[in-house]
Amino acid sequence: MADDASSALGAPEIAGSLVNPKGLTKKVTATTAGSQLGGAIGSVAAGAIAGRTYTTPGEMPSFGRVGYVAVSEDEVALVKTKTGAFKMKITDEVLARAPRSAVASVELDQGRLLSHLKIEFTDGVVWEFDIPKAAKKTAQDVTRALGGAFS
C-alpha cells in the first residue's frame, strides 16, 4: 500500500488529501465540550445539538472519520482509509469516483485551523469536507489540480 491512491485509481495520482466529513470537527468539539461541562447529560445534549447541524451531502458515501480525495489525469475519487500505527493508511477501496469532466466547480475555503473543501459536479451532487490544518497544503494541491478557487 503506497502513500497515495494510485493503485486504487488504477492510474498515477496527481494530487490527494486526507479529509474529514463536513461537520465532524464541530460535532466532536461540541460533544467534548458538553462532556467536560456537564458530564454525561451535557454530552448527550451537545451530541444531539451537533447532530442537527451536521448535514451529509447528497449521494456521497459515508467514509467514517477520515477519507482520502484523490485526483488522477481522468478522474476524482473518494478512497477509504484505515488506521495505521502512526498515521492513516490509504486502502485500495474506492468509495465513489467521477470523471474530471463532471466536476463543475471546486472551492477551498481556507481557515487558520480548519478549512472546507467543496466539490460540485455537473449532475448537482456535492462533496463537502472539513480539512484539518495538517492537510491544508495537500487540499490546496487537490484544488489546484481540479482548477478550483481559493477563498
In a domain, 70, yes or no: yes
Q: Which of 125, 132, 148 is nearest to 60 (CA)?
A: 125
In a domain, 63, yes or no: yes
User: What local confidence, expressed as pLDDT, does residue 25 receive?
Assistant: 57
Contact 19, 68 (CB under 8 A): yes
User: What local confidence, expressed as pLDDT, does residue 49 receive?
Assistant: 45
User: What local confidence, expressed as pLDDT, does residue 116 receive?
Assistant: 97
> In the block, which residue shows the cell 467521477?
98
Per-residue confidence in pLDDT tens, the chain, 151 aa: 457 899 999 999 999 999 999 986 554 444 444 445 554 444 444 444 444 332 333 467 889 999 999 999 999 999 999 998 888 999 999 999 999 999 999 999 999 999 999 999 999 999 999 999 999 999 999 999 999 999 9
In a domain, 78, yes or no: yes
In a domain, 40, yes or no: no
- The CATH number of the domain holding residue 142 is 2.30.29.30
Q: Is 41 exposed, middle or buried (0-12, 13-18, 19+ CB in 10 A)?
A: exposed
Other beta carbons within 10 angstroms of residue 9's beta carbon come to 23
User: What local confidence, expressed as pLDDT, does residue 86 receive?
Assistant: 86
In a domain, 45, yes or no: no
User: For residue 84, what are the domain limits?
Assistant: 6-22+57-150
pTM over 0.85: no
Q: Into how many domains does the chain fold?
A: 1
Q: Which of 20, 17, 135 is nearest to 76 (CA)?
A: 17
In a domain, 44, yes or no: no
